[in-house]
Amino acid sequence: MAHPFLRKLRHGAHLTQDNENVLIALARPVRSLAAREDVSIEGEPRGHLTLIVEGWACHYTTLENGKRQIVSLYLPGDLCEPFGILPRFMTNAIAAITPVTIAQLRHDTMRSTAQASPRIEEALWWDLLTSFAIEREHLISLGRRTATERLGHLFCELHLRLENIGLVDDELSYDMPVTQADLGDLLGLSLVHVNRSLQELRATRLMSLRGRRLTIHNLRGLRELSLFDESYLHRVTSPSRHQPHAEIGELA
């Protein structure tokens, strides 16, 4: 099975076999973390990017009044920081949600790799762009969607993101290991209200969530209810993959 990073990139970028080999070599798993463990601590400067290879993680902030907001959810194949620059310090922290294995990509190697191959650079930019688009849509949810719409929207989004990396079974069912408390922190809701809104969602019979398993029974219905429009994910419908022969302009 292909590396989730590559699987994802194939939905928006055009990589040759060579390109993929280069990326794979950079993205070797190097560390494992237990659930709830912090990947990096606020304020700590580092020389590498974090790539999720397996498991789920999140980017969160804790305000001074103790409230917590999860800003972003990271799935296998997701880069946790932009590739182009290292901030002088982190302003918030990344934590594992499930047990996680990560790869740490040296920042300077990333940059020189991108400079050497326009295709790889293009792919990294596409990835960055969709990450931002996801956060933007998250912002829109918090601003203008109701609790059930937020939940539904999240589940629709996860459905596509997980499908990209081959983690959806029968096109409708996937593992959803996020607790209700974390869903609250992600969606700007209280734990109690998440619970009740989930029940409301289940009652629509559009989807169900038992144990850690989420199943969508009526995708179109769920999307309508959630005001979900997939275009922000900038996804190419069929995974694209170029021939392995010479790239025009490569290394130019």
Partner DNA sequence: CGGCGGGTTGAGTCGCATCAACATGCGTGG
Partner DNA sequence: CCACGCATGTTGATGCGACTCAACCCGCCG
Question: Which residues would be at the binding site for a copy of itself (CB under 8 A)?
Answer: 61, 63-65, 67-69, 71, 82, 84-85, 87-89, 91-92, 115, 121-122, 125-126, 128-129, 132-133, 135-136, 138-140, 142-145, 187-188, 227, 229, 231-232, 234
* Binding range to DNA, per CB under 7 A, among 19-27, 39-47, 154-162, 182-190: 182-190
135 binds, among DNA, a copy of itself, none (CB under 5 to 8 A by kind): a copy of itself
Q: How many CB atoms lie within 10 A of CB 193?
A: 15
Q: Which of residues 183-242 bind DNA (CB under 7 A)?
A: 184, 188-193, 195-199
Q: Which does 199 bind (CB under 5 to 8 A by kind): a copy of itself, DNA, none?
A: DNA
The two structure tokens encoding residue 144 = 């203008």
* Cα–Cα distance for residue pair 201/211, rounded to 1 Å: 15
Residue 122 interacting entry, from a copy of itself, DNA, none, C-beta within 5 to 8 Å by type? a copy of itself
Cα first-last separation, the chain:
32
Give CB contacts under 8 A, 24+ apart, made by 19-26: 19/117, 19/119, 19/120, 19/123, 22/113, 22/117, 22/120, 23/113, 23/120, 26/103, 26/105, 26/106, 26/109, 26/110, 26/113
Angle at the Cα of 147 (from 130 to 178), degrees rounded to 5? Answer: 60
Which partner, a copy of itself, DNA, none, binds residue 82 by CB below 5 to 8 Å per kind? a copy of itself
Place of tokens 């275009």: 231
Query: Would you count residue 95 as binding DNA (CB under 7 A)?
Result: no
List the single partner that 219 binds among a copy of itself, DNA, none, CB under 5 to 8 Å by kind: none
Nearer to a copy of itself, 71 or 160 (CB): 71
Contact by Cβ (8 Å): 219, 152: no
Binding site for DNA (CB under 7 A): 146-148, 179-181, 184, 188-193, 195-199
